Amino acid sequence: MSPSLIIIVLLGYFLIIGGISFFTSRFGNDNASFFIGGKKSPWYIVSVGMIGATLSGISIVSVPGMVRSLDFTYMQMVFGFFFGYIVVVSVLLPIYYRLNLTSIYGYLGNRFGLLTHRTGALFFILAKAVGGSARLYVVVVVLQEFVFNQLNIPFSVTIFLTLLVIYLYTYKGGIKTIVWTDFFQTIALLLAVILMIVEAIRLMDLNLISTVKVLAESSYSKIFVFDDWHSRSHFLKQFLSGIFVVVVMTGLDQDIMQKNLSCSTLKESRRNMLCYGFAFIPVNLLFLSLGGLLLLYASKNSIDLPLVNDSILPFFAMRLGPLVMICFVFGIVAAAFSSVDSALTSLTTSFMVDILKKDEKSEKRPRIIIHLLFTVLFFFLVLLFRIWNSQSAIDTIYTIVSYTYGPLLGLFAFGLFTSYSIREKWVPWIAISSPILSFILKVVFEREFGYVFGYELLILNGFFTFFGLRLVAKTPQRGKKSSLLK
């Protein structure tokens, strides 16, 4: 298929996004609109947009590909996700609204002090910068392979052009713009996935009922693993990890919570989160079904697949006709943009509010400069991911989360479930030591006992942080309750 046709499709897509940005930024581009949209975002628009923002382009590429090695066992983690959302809605959202926070790490400052506040924010900035650039890397690689290689355009130029588009439609409106662009991009993402599934069903000469039957009877349909405790796919590991991943990657993540806090009331924010949290179950089942169908099609037609799981869907997209390829490119661009644009906005917000201590009334110029600097940082991080590629991008993301969000889990848990104050000078050292101890324990257990840690590293990391904070805690005041019970 001609790359010029893909470019025309993408240009049309960018024009729509640019139009949405122009319209929304006309009605407010101050810091209050950039940070939390003036707390006027419709909850149902936020809810739909959150699906695409949370999934990202990695889900389109990685989730279908992981079926080959993990079957449908990823659904165990997805089931855990929903219960994680219930925890966030019940425990964290009320606190954030009660304190009227712009950045959720203001809770740490309110509970412990400025040093803890900034430590939490810096760990978020590190995690989000690395995770966001990994998501962007997946999309840029696909665009490079499908379009820009044929035009002899270097990989670095592809990164630059992609980030330039994202910067231009986000630097003014921030969350106020992103709420609406994410809504459009999620619709585009889901439509693309559904069209790819329809095309796969057509190629296999099936109907909807026979497709369900073929998938259910295939060797890839296994969802639950109860018999092998050493496996990373064991139900308890996956389910509990799913709960904690959501608590951390949603409830303790400024990127995701910033959109939730843009809803006008706590009631609307809760409604938004429960709706998109439940929607993850059928949406991820769609992704896995697409992967299963493609693998069955390859087996039926004796097609040799790429060794890397993340390459399976792009491999098919290049060979199953122009409709599949356009849907694939359109889908990953929509998903990646909805993820990366909010990552850049949340990083800018956190740096302004948590590190520089600027608020909604501060001048806009520093915010615009910081937004640009984070865009440049993403450029160089994507180049680094080009050098270091892994078997599965989504696995890389969750591994990064386990090490960088673990200290956030420990900090928030200690604040919520105890009434202790702490000797703040030790907080940064504890937060740094916890991932190091987790990594050492992981290596020792794998070498000595054959136990392979999965995403439960996140829980372990949070425990080390919690335990370290207890060691440097001060005696609580008599009768003082934990902040969770206030």
Name every residue whose Cβ is closer than 8 Å to that of residue 426 and which is 6 or more positions away in sequence: 468, 472
Residue from 434, 42, 84, 438 nearest 272 by CA: 42
Neighbours of 452 (CB within 10 A): 13
Contact by Cβ (8 Å): 105, 120: yes
Q: What is the pLDDT of residues 158-193, one digit of tens each?
A: 889 889 988 888 877 777 788 888 888 788 878 888
- The amino acid at residue 292 is G
Using an 8 Å Cβ cutoff, are 461 and 402 in contact?
yes
- Using DSSP's 3-state secondary structure scheme, residue 72 falls into coil
Region 222-236: mean pLDDT is 80
> For the segment 87-122, what is each residue's pLDDT rounded down to a tens digit?
999 999 999 999 998 899 999 999 999 999 999 999
C-alpha–C-alpha distance, residues 248 and 158, integer Å: 32
Q: Name the pTM for this structure.
A: 0.83
pLDDT range class, residue 391, cuts 50, 70, 90: very low
Q: What is the mean pLDDT of residues 17-44?
A: 75
pLDDT at 86: 94
Cα 99 vs. chain centroid, distance in angstroms?
25
Which residue, 292, 281, 238, is CA-closest to 67? Answer: 292
- The CATH number of the domain covering residues in 3-392: 1.20.1730.10
Average pLDDT, the chain: 83
CA torsion angle for 408, 405, 54, 9 (degrees, to 10)?
130
pLDDT for 27 equals 60
Name which residue leads in pLDDT, 384 or 411: 411
Taking the domains of the chain in order of start, what are their residue ranges?
3-392
Q: What's the token pair of residue 429?
A: 């050292």
CB 108 within 8 A of CB 411: yes
**Cα 358 to Cα 31, 317, 445, distances in angstroms:** 10, 46, 45
* Rounded CA separation 130/465 (Å): 21
**Does pLDDT of 401 surpass 70?**
no
What pLDDT shows up at residue 20?
82
- Pick the closest to residue 162 from 459, 473, 386, 379 (CA basis): 379
State the pLDDT at residue 407.
Answer: 92
How far is Cα 185 from Cα 334, in angstroms, rounded to an integer? 5
* Lowest mean pLDDT across 26-35, 128-137, 171-180, 399-408: 26-35
Task: Please tell me the distance from the alpha carbon of residue 469 to that of residue 433, in angstroms, as a whole number.
Answer: 12
Continuous H helices in 71-104: 74-87, 93-98
Predicted confidence (pLDDT) per residue in 272-292, tens digit:
999 988 998 999 898 889 889
Cα torsion 474, 478, 484, 486 to 10°: value is: -140
**Contact status, residue 14 vs residue 167, Cβ threshold 8 Å:** no
- Which residue is associated with the tokens 């005041």? 477
Provide the pLDDT confidence category of residue 124 given band limits of 50, 70 and 90: very high
Kindly report the number of other CB atoms within 10 A of residue 62's CB atom: 25
Q: Could you report the per-residue pLDDT of 346-376, keeping only the tens digit for each? A: 899 999 999 988 877 777 788 889 999 999 9
Is 80 exceeded by the pLDDT of residue 329?
Answer: no
pLDDT-derived band at 396 (thresholds 50, 70, 90) equals low
Report the pLDDT averaged over residues 65-79: 87
